[in-house]
Every structure is written in C-alpha cells, then in structure tokens.
Structure 1
Amino acid sequence: MTVNAVARVLEELAPLDYAEDFDNVGLLVGDAGMEVKGILVTLDTLENVIEEAIAKDCNLIVSFHPIIFSGLKKITGKNYVERTVVKAIKYDIAIYAIHTALDNAISGVNHKICDILGLINTSILIPQKKTIKKLVTYVPLANSNKLKRALFEAGAGSIGNYSDCSFSTEGTGSFKATEKANPVIGTIGYLHYEKEAQISVTFPKDSEKRVLESLFKHHPYEEVAYEITTLENTNQHIGMGMVGELEPAMAETDFLIYLKNKMNASVVRHSELRNKDIKKVAVLGGSGSFAIEAAKAAGADVFVTADVKYHEFYQAEKQLIIADIGHFETEQFTKTLLVDYLTKKIPNFAIRLSESITNPIKYF
C-alpha cells in the first residue's frame, strides 16, 4: 500500500477541500508513491515521534497537527520544526497532516468529544459555507436518465438525508457542426435542432472532479455544454464544532467534575456559573474562542473548548458557561479516532497509536 493510497482512505473521512484556508494539510514530507510498511498515528509530529516511528518500523506518520505550518526558507536544524523534518527525511519517513479537514468533518474531532461526553442529538455548530456546488448541463431527452444515474453515482444529487436529487426541464437545443466536428447527432454544415433536457444537480465541492469525469464520460455529445456555480447554502454536514444534549441534565458543578474526569483534564478554567442545570453542550476542539457567539446563538448552556483568553471569558455574559480544558485535552482522543478508522478501513495492516507525549503544557 502506498502513501497516496492511505491518503485517499483518510480523505474519505476528512476531505482536504474542507480544511481551513490558513491550514497546511496533506502530505508534508515524503514520496506519495512510497510503499508503506507501517503507520504511526500521533497528535503532533516531533523528534521523539520520528524516533518512535523508527523503533516501530513505521515509515508513514499520520499527524493531526502539521509540523510545517508556515513556509520554511531553510532546513538547517536550528529549531524543533527543522530538526523534525531533517530526521524524517533522513530516515525516509513520510508525514501526512489532517488537522482542520478533520475538525470540519462530521465524524471528526468534535464528534469524538461528543461521544466521550455522551451527548445525543448532535449537529454541526458552525456549518461551513460555499461548500455546495451546482452543475447545469443539457442532454438529449433519450439520454437524460442514464446521465443522471451516472452523476448520482459520482456523488451528485445528495441533499441532507436525501439522495438522487435533481431538477429537469425540457426544451430545444440547436447547433451546427463545422467541418472538423464529429457529431453524434446532426450533420456537418447543417443547423440541427434537438429535444433536450436541462439537468441541474448539486454536489459537495470535494466531488467536483468525480462529477465532471462522469459527465464527460456519459454525455453523448462531442462538446458538452455545462456550467458550475457555488451556492450560498450552508452545509449541515461540514463545519466547526458540534452541539448536543446531555441525558439527563446535570447540575453545573456536577458537569464540570464530569467534564474534567471524562476528558482527563488537569484543570477546568470557566466563566461565572449561572445556577442553571446543564442540558445543551457545545464543543470545539482546539482554539475555539471564535465560536463563543455561535455557541450562545445555539442556546448552549456550556461551551467546551480551549485557549480562551482572559477578556474572552467576559463574552459569556451569563448566557452560558465557557469551559476551557486545554488544547491538548480537547484533541487527545483524535489519535484513537484515526487509529480505529484506519484499522477498520485497512485491516491486517500495521497501524500504531503513538505513545509519545507531545503536550507542551505542564501543570504544577
């Protein structure tokens, strides 16, 4: 199995198209065509993780965080990033990072937090915009159903819990084939009129390549007329954070104790308590203060996240409790999520959970 083949499996779970623009995801170090001997899954890729990969005979590291985040102008080993990259190259170890692609996946980081906390009725907290596209094309009536089936199989026509969705109208198309044309219908040099269907289907943006390949393969015309537009609709299955419910509700202090124990947190930093039971819980792994207002708008009683600054706690405004349990603590179970997923998708293959400690924050 090659690095590229493993990447394709990972991108079924978390397509890179949905990673945030600022992020650096995908294959960061190594040859995509290299044969994989073993996979080591980690939260961060540091020198000690490279050493662990060497010891466990793993030549592919699947890392949540990218070790290369901003551009490297030199690789001389002067800092921990450069030393890690140098060591990976020296021992022919590939590094693949998934980061915000997995943050935005419906079965990703935040879904795992919800599982750990036992939340039910979960949904995306901040659905991602501009991730749904629409294809419009024109095809002879006799070929319209066959083309629609092919587009559906390529990933088009799924809306929420519905599949095979499309809209068609009938009309008359016209064209004149020139001398260099090879028309399937019509005669060179003569204006031709054809009863056609205008077909419209939506698709998630990560399916665009497959949808277009299917369109060109199954459309009967030599020249295919089509247009693609990006819709303003939000995608309810892609986005940052999640919100769910506790069953039953808990008293505030009971929930904070429960949160600390379930998430193996050393401390919970929180805003002022409200003397109200906790029922609806919003979560966002990693630095999530940007989602405080979204958590309030969702009616959450508490927002679990990390890296909240002093003045940002004021934003709770007694509308909810902000609970900061630490960056590592919110994302620590991501390794298990990825190992479980890869083990299921690639059985009988060496997939290891990294035992290296990469949390840079210590508590006294």
Structure 2
Amino acid sequence: MKFVCAPMATLSHEAFRILIENFGGCDEYFTEMINAPSLLNRGPFEKFYLLNGPAPEKIVWQLTGSETKPLAEAACIVCEKGGIGVDLNMGCSAPQIYKTGAGISWMLKPLEETKKTVRAVKDSLNLMEQKMNRHFRLSVKCRLGDENFTEAGFLSFTDMLVENGVELITLHPRTIKEKYRGLPRYEFVHKISQRYKDVAQVYLNGCIKDFESESYALQKCPGADGVMIARAAAEKPWIFRQIQKNHEHSAEEISVDRMKTALDFIDYVEKFQPKEFHKTRIQRFFSYYCKQFEFGHYFQTGMTNYKSNDESRKTVIDYFSRQPHEQFLTI
C-alpha cells in the first residue's frame, strides 16, 4: 500500500513537500497542476513549478491542458527533471479548468479524441525512456464523469486509458457536480482495481482525513494499490506518518510542535516560491492548517488578512502565546 500526496493547486509545491518530509514523508508527491501551454511558453514563474525537491525520486508531474500537442511536448520537458512519471489531469471539476477543455472535460469529449491525447503523451514518454534509459510511468487522475454517467461508459473510458499505456488510475469517485459533497462511491475504485488487477494500478482518492476514514475506504475497496490524501495533508502535515504508525501498531510517541511547523512553512515558502506567490500560498495552506485549533476561525482570519510575511509570523506566535496548550501535539 502506497501513501500519496495529492496534486493541489497552490499547495503541492516544494515548500509543502518539505514540510511533509519533515515528518517522514510519503511514497509519492504529485505536483500541483502544471499548465502545458504555459510551460512551453517559458513564463517567468514556470521554473518554480519544475522544482522537484526535497525527494526528486518521489515526484509525479501532473499536467493540465486542453490540446494534445502541448501536453505531449510538456511531458518531455518535465521528464528531463526525473521523477516517477507524468499524470494527466482528467478529473478537475473547477469551472475555470473544465470550461477551457481541460480537467474533467477529457472525460466528456469523444473517446477517440481523448485516446489520441493519451497515446501522444505515452509516445513522448517512450521517447524519453530511450533518451534517458529509464522508465516513466503514465497515469491519469479522473472522476466518474458527469451527472448522467453510466458504469458502462465509465469503464469504456478507463479501458481506453489502460489499452493506451496508462499504468495507474487515481479515481476520485464523485461526479463533476458532486465536487466534495457526500461520501465518495468507493465501490467504483474496487471495480476498476479488480478489472485491471494484472495490468494497471489503482489509487483511491477522496475523504481520507485520518486512520479511521482510510480504514473505512479500504474496506470498500481492498484491492486499491494506494491511498491519495489531499486537504487533510495541509491540515495535518504529519498525517502520513500518523496513519503509517497505526498500520504498524507502533507504540512510538511522536511529538509535533505545531507553532514551529507553521513558522517553518512560511520560511519554506519564502525560500522556494517567488515573492509574487507568497501570499496566496500562505493563505491557502493556513485555510486548512487552522481548522484543527480551538479558535481556528480567529487564527485563519489573521493568516488571511496579514500585510507582510513577518506579520504572518507574528500572528502565528501571538496565537500560540494565547493558546499555549495547543502548541504541542503527541500522536
């Protein structure tokens, strides 16, 4: 069983990965969505999306785009940086993504059109394998489809992926409109894990926030090869170690300094993100991190409205000076 950090816009960057690695890390880190046309145009910020620390061997490059050629070309660029392979985002349901023809739109397009794109990216990875004398995995992250999806239609889509070289499917088993509402339909993860048991891996994604929710999900789909965790990793960057500790029935006590963790993140953002990104990255992280605290809304408000990075640090220190019993956590 692999534990995987999900691709999250403005979150799954190097600063965030370092924070998780400080607690023992996970098996794979999917990057935040990398827009293929922007990468090809070599914009001023694209180099920051290509940072692969602190564990380059665990990186999975997630690409997004609405056309075949840029995705295939971008695949070659990211493979130059190493990593496990390339993931195609075919599941993002954010309107600003799918309305451009990217994200989950690939599940709604004619099957032959999506097949052409998958095949083109696979061909690019094959070329990079020859060039670099190593394997690059092709994966796809998807949902169930639109509100009118059928099981037969969904399986036709996943069959097409596997037949054209996709070695891993990460399924968030909700539809485009369900977004994060209701319990994921984990039975579909189980169906495809059994269907492709000998030819492709399947990771489950959705509503994994602790050991109990992970155990419940795995009861529903015991054939899953991995568990992908998203927002809960921002709320508790130690979650992977915590779940692993439960799996191992370890009596080891792990002490977390939650003030230091917060301050470390701000430091890492300053070091590994451009100045123009500092505020959005810090705000996004703390919108989740603050949820665990008694006065989380108050804490989050301060971390949303701060005027400078130093002021954000002061907000962190002030919170724990008022709530000293919340600074240390034993797991």
Larger Rg computed on CA atoms? 1
> Which structure ranks higher in relative contact order (CA pairs < 8 Å, sequence separation ≥ 6)?
1
Q: Higher strand fraction: Structure 1 or Structure 2?
A: 1
TM-score (norm 2): 0.25
